[in-house]
Amino acid sequence: STERLFSANPGPLEVLKRVYGYDAFRGKQQAVVEHVAAGGDAVVLFPTGAGKSLCFQIPALCRDGVGIVVSPLIALMRDQVEALKQLGVRAAALNSALSREEAGAVMRAVRAAELDLLYVTPERIVTDGFAELIGNARIALFAIDEAHCVSQWGHDFRPEYRTLDRLAGRYPGVPRIALTATADPHTREDIIERLSLANAQVFTTSFDRPNIAYDIVERDQPRQQLLRFLSRHKDASGIVYCLSRAKVEDTAAWLDAQGIRARPYHAGLDRSVRDTNQDAFLKEENLCLVATVAFGMGIDKPDVRYVAHLDLPGSVEAYYQETGRAGRDGLPSEAWMAYGMADVMQRRRMIDEGDAAEDVKRVERAKLNALLAICETVSCRRQAILAHFGEAHAGGCGNCDTCRNPVETWDGTEAAITALAAVYRTGERFGSGHVIDVLMGVANEKTERFGHVDMPVFGAGKDIPVRTWQSVFRQLLATGLIRIDHTAFGAMKLEAEARAVFRREREVRFRKDRPAPARTGRGAKP
Ligand code: ADP
Ligand code: ZN
């Protein structure tokens, strides 16, 4: 009963106009679409909201055969398939949520070449059953969505994604396109290597979201701080993220009592409650959704005016993806976070007590430190965030709290030189814990074994407290003077820019130590 929308192979622009009703491609969409439609492999690293879906949907519609889309979440698939059907595209999903009969119908449609796009979960695609199902059906392309899931350095590692490297061998000649909004250099390398995409063309675009204002405050009286923040967004919708389900419910109830329309969302709520609250959020214009990270992936609400974090996320990637849900319509929006040392302790404990292997834990600790570095930066937050994703930004964005209200700083040039020298002299092979031991002149098994006790840098930092050194290293990381090599046990390495500091061509300023954050419990239930 279904029929292709076009007689012969249509061009990308024709598909864009006739199927989607858009006049023009955005940014680098056209380059990607043309490359893949012509049979090339691609790695697409665009931020949330840039329009990645069209990058594989349009080439699939331009080419003969069915486009197969690997997607990690059934809910995400369902939304995309629904949206495509509305546009008249012949799309279906194959996943564990289908009955036998439904799955049978989808398989028949594939073999009869009656589908344009088929969404599947990664564990299904590499099975023999799937190869049989495909049989002689022509495949237009493979799209691997949320491709960062293949990387252990990503915040959302899914082991099933690792099997996708078999696609290249099993289906030679079928173009593959991997897409993600997470593009720190480690993840990027992992995607290319793990998915055998060394010959793919890589498409990147700036990750900057200029319409999002960043504001990171030290937590003092969290509820009052949140209330003050929300008073700036009275007639708008937004998301407040909390770490625990209990805190989600408490916060939502409390906000409601304060006269702010708020609803909770977390995976422990009844499905019907969750769906009701999500629908209300999607439809209404002034609802505050208080949620755990269970909420958000695949949500396409353009007018989210703010994203607030009451707890520190686990990584810069997670922070950026969550805050990135604000302002998809391009209008001014705000990303606000309150954090305290208590978060840091809690996150560290979650990592330490988790079941992950030691090397994974090491990565998680480094990721947490990278986020802390952004929290503590004295310069433009946007610059620090983008630097994390390997993107240069001149700083002084004027749309973050540190740009609007410069923080109190101290001249840390000498301290920075001492710190960088210690990293260099110890061979760029150690994490900050050990290097600080060296600076403080701590004679222990490790400093003795490596002969660091005999070096001039040993004890060279004694007149500065350990706590300040920790902050110094986080800030050196934030400003891109050092980086952490996750592949070398979290060793700190000097970046090229460090030379300018050694030569005293570059002044370094550090954020003044904050008073010890006590009172984390005031005004909030733990
Ligand atoms: P991403 O997956 O990169 O987060 P989506 O593919 O969900 O982004 O697209 C974000 C929004 O932008 C969607 O509502 C989509 O329809 C819209 N969009 C994408 N490309 C275009 C375009 N060329 N013109 C207008 N709107 C577009
Ligand atoms: Zn700024």
Nearest 5°: the CA angle 344, 287, 220 is 30
**Which phi and psi angles does 204 have, rounded to 5°?**
-125, 160
Helix axis angle for 222-230 and 245-257, nearest 10°, is: 60
> For position 230, what pLDDT does the model report?
96
Residue nearest to atom 15 of ligand 1 (CA): 51
Please write the tens of the pLDDT for every residue from 52-80: 999 999 999 999 999 999 998 888 888 89
For residues 422 and 431, what is the distance between their CA atoms, to the nearest angstrom? 11
Q: Is the CB of 80 under 6 A from ligand 1?
A: no
Q: Is the CB of 300 under 6 A from ligand 1?
A: yes
Q: How far is the CA of 111 from the centre of ligand 1 (A)?
A: 30
User: Which of 54, 179, 321 to mutate to test ligand 1, by most ligand atoms within 8 A of the CB atom?
Assistant: 54
pLDDT digits (tens, 9 = 90+) for 192-238: 999 999 999 999 988 899 999 999 998 889 999 999 999 999 899 99
Q: Nearest CA to 96 among 78, 114, 79, 117? A: 78
Residue 509 CB–ligand 1 contact under 6 Å: no
Q: What stretch of H or E contains 191?
A: helix 185-194
With a CB cutoff of 8 Å and minimum separation 6, the contacts of 193 are: none
Within 8 A by CB and 6+ apart from 204, the residues are 45, 46, 183
| pLDDT: which is higher, 461 or 497 | 461
Predicted TM-score (pTM) of this structure = 0.71
Atom 2 of ligand 1 has which residue's CA nearest to it?
52
Q: Which atom of ligand 1 is nearest to the CA of 29?
A: 23
Q: Which atom, in ligand 1's list, is nearest to the CA of 181?
A: 3
In this prediction, residue 154 carries a pLDDT of: 64
Q: In terms of C-beta density within 10 A (0-12 exposed, 13-18 middle, 19 or more buried), how is residue 242 classed?
A: buried
Contacts of 279 (CB under 8 A, 6+ apart): none
Question: What ligand has the least distance to the C-alpha of 404?
Answer: 2
For ligand 1, the distance from its centroid to the CA atom of residue 140, given in whole angstroms, is 21
- The verdict on the CB of residue 50 being under 6 Å from ligand 1 is yes
Q: Which of 207, 216, 210 is nearest to 180 (CA)?
A: 207
Token reading at 520: 């984390």
What gap in Å lies between CA 256 and CA 263, rounded to an integer? 8
Please say if the pLDDT value at position 308 is more than 90: yes
Residue 22 Cβ contacting ligand 1 at under 6 Å: yes
Q: What is the Cα–Cα distance from 333 to 96, expressed in whole angstroms? A: 38
CA nearest ligand 1 atom 14, residue: 300
CA of 131 relative to ligand 2 center, distance in Å: 51
Q: pLDDT tens for residues 6-26?
A: 556 789 999 999 999 999 999
Q: DSSP code of 18?
A: I
Q: How far is the CA of 295 from the centre of ligand 1 (A)?
A: 20
Could you tell me if the CB of 120 is within 6 A of ligand 1?
no
Distance 133 CA to ligand 1 centre (A): 31
Among 125-129, 215-219, 372-376, 511-515, whose mean pLDDT is lowest?
A: 511-515
What is the model's pLDDT at position 513? Answer: 62
Provide, rounded to the nearest whole percent, the portion of the chain with pLDDT above 90: 61
**Ligand 1: residue whose CA is nearest its atom 19:** 51
Helix (H, G, I), strand (E, B) or coil at 125: helix
**Does residue 281 contact residue 302 with C-beta atoms inside 8 Å?**
no
Q: Are 473 and 432 in contact (CB under 8 A)?
A: yes
ipTM of the complex model: 0.97
Identify the pLDDT of residue 475.
Answer: 81
Residue pLDDT, tens place only, 85-114: 999 999 999 988 888 899 889 989 999 999
Q: How far is the CA of 406 from the centre of ligand 2 (A)?
A: 10
Residue 223 Cα to ligand 1 midpoint, Å, equals 35
CA torsion angle for 58, 62, 66, 67 (degrees, to 10)?
A: -30
Of the candidates 503, 437, 182, 474, the one whose C-alpha atom is nearest the C-alpha of residue 339 is 474
Distance 385 CA to ligand 2 centre (A): 10
CA 110 / ligand 2 centre spacing (Å): 50
* Spatial distance between the Cα atoms of 314 and 293, rounded to a whole number of angstroms: 11
End-to-end CA distance of the chain: 58
Nearest-CA residue for atom 26 of ligand 1: 22
Interval 451-479 mean pLDDT? 90
> Does the C-beta of 49 come closer than 6 Å to ligand 1?
yes
Distance, in Å, from the CA atom of 66 to the CA atom of 134, rounded to the nearest integer, reads: 10
Mutate to test the pocket of ligand 1, among 25, 26, 82 (most ligand atoms within 8 A of CB): 26
Q: What is the mean pLDDT of the chain?
A: 89
- The half-sphere exposure of 92 on its side-chain side, counting CA atoms within 13 A, is 19
How many Å apart are CA 148 and CA 284, to the nearest integer? 32
Of 33, 206, 300, the residue with max ligand 1 atoms within 8 A of its CB, to mutate for a pocket test, comes to 300
Q: Mean pLDDT: which of 345-349, 387-391, 406-410 is highest?
A: 406-410
What's residue 317's pLDDT? 87
- Is residue 526's pLDDT more than 50? no
